[in-house]
Amino acid sequence: MQSKVSVFILALTLTLALAINPAMARTYVIKFSHVVAVDTPKGKAAEYLKKIVEERTKGKIKVQVYPNAALYGDREALEALKMNAIQMACPSFSKFTGFVPELQIFDLPFLFENTEHLHKFMNSKVGKELLKGVSRMGLIGLAYWDNGFKQLTLDDNPIRLPKDIKGKKFRIMSSKVLEAQFKVVGASPQVLPFSEVYSALQQGVVDGQENTISNIYTKKFYEVQKYMTISNHGYLGYMLVTNQIFWNSLPQNLRDILSSCVKEATNYERKLAAELNQEQLEKIKASGKVQIHYLTPEERKVWKKAMMKIYPEFYDVIGKERIEEALKLAP
């Protein structure tokens, strides 16, 4: 009798709690769309985030990851996120150009010496402020995710000096900085979505491209290019972003769990970025499909001098003081 009464009281309490606070009963879905392969730092970290979020919220938040531009391509993903049609994305900084142009600071060639320098800048006051810029789009910048430094590939001749890419067509992401970076050395930049790069290289629509090792490897760009130069001339990284309306709709306890999962996934992603880019470079080498050249220190100096000339063009858009702050943090 007594146990029947306690079951009844428990049921009544739950019903009342749900009536007063329906958020307790709700489950939430995060659609996370990205354009790269699963076997990349971003792809794997998205899967990791899904796993820990679903475990720790006991299924109250479900994460559906859509890799390989299966749901949305470059620009569409940000539009969809603004409309809350998806709730998470992690576009490279260049993809924010039309909305938050100051994020192009990360595209400036030779601005960051190495990953430590980059992370120092991201953790600085200026770096943290840049993360807030996306609020103008109705978004929240949750974290910076790494990929790595970009390398150059080309179909018909090795690249040692800027003159080697003169007149060549290079695929770029949608960034004015990247456009200027290629123009200043006499190459011809062409904006294309990531999902079209492989066929553009294969069909000769463009002669070359710049990307990180993990993207060159997983999307097989090295199979349709004869030469690759390890130039580390610029950085490609991401901002993990969510929609403000979605974020504010979460009960505080779920938001807290999600925040801590994002922190953990960010650490995982950064570690993985360094490992994967190294591992996949070895795989590209072993394939024997592309001839690889490492820029010598002298060659690097020539590229640096030529490409850094574009900085003043972007003082207004990016902010001279932000560029100076990044340079100040150099090792």
CB of 261: closest distance to ligand LMR in angstroms? Answer: 21
What would the x/- binding string for ligand LMR be over residues 150 to 179, using CB under 6 A? -----------------------x------
Residue type, 250: L
CB of 176: closest distance to ligand LMR in angstroms? Answer: 15
What are the residues facing 152 on neighbouring strands?
210, 229
CB of 298: closest distance to ligand LMR in angstroms? Answer: 29
| Residue number, 102 or 210, with CB nearest to ligand LMR | 210
Cα-Cα-Cα-Cα dihedral sign, residues 33, 102, 190, 150: negative
Q: Determine the Cα–Cα distance for residues 234 and 142; give it in Å rounded to an integer.
A: 23
Report CA-CA distances (Å) from 77 to 82, 85, 148, 181, 261: 9, 9, 22, 26, 22
Per CB under 6 A, 147 contacts ligand LMR: yes
Positions in 221-280 near ligand LMR (CB under 6 A): none
CB of 214: closest distance to ligand LMR in angstroms? Answer: 8
* Full DSSP string of 59-120: TSEEEEEE-TTSS--HHHHHHHHHTTSSSEE--BGGGGTTT-GGGGGGGSTT--SSHHHHHH
CB distance 276 to 214 below 8 Å: yes
What would the x/- binding string for ligand LMR be over residues 35 to 74, using CB under 6 A? xx--------------------------------------
| Residue number, 92 or 229, with CB nearest to ligand LMR | 92
Residue 331: CB atoms within 10 Å: 7
CB distance 226 to 154 below 8 Å: yes
| Residue number, 32 or 194, with CB nearest to ligand LMR | 194
Using CB under 6 A as the binding criterion, the count of chain residues that bind ligand LMR stands at 8
Positions in 91-110 near ligand LMR (CB under 6 A): 92
Residue type, 109: P
* Full DSSP string of 120-148: HHHHSHHHHHHHHGGGGGTEEEEEEEEEE
| Residue number, 97 or 215, with CB nearest to ligand LMR | 215
CB of 159: closest distance to ligand LMR in angstroms? Answer: 18
Interface residue with ligand LMR, options 72, 106, 194, 235 (CB under 6 A): 194
| Residue number, 97 or 243, with CB nearest to ligand LMR | 97
Residue in 14, 89, 35 with CA at minimum distance from that of residue 240: 89
Q: Interface with ligand LMR by CB under 6 A: which residues?
A: 35-36, 92, 147, 173, 194, 211, 215
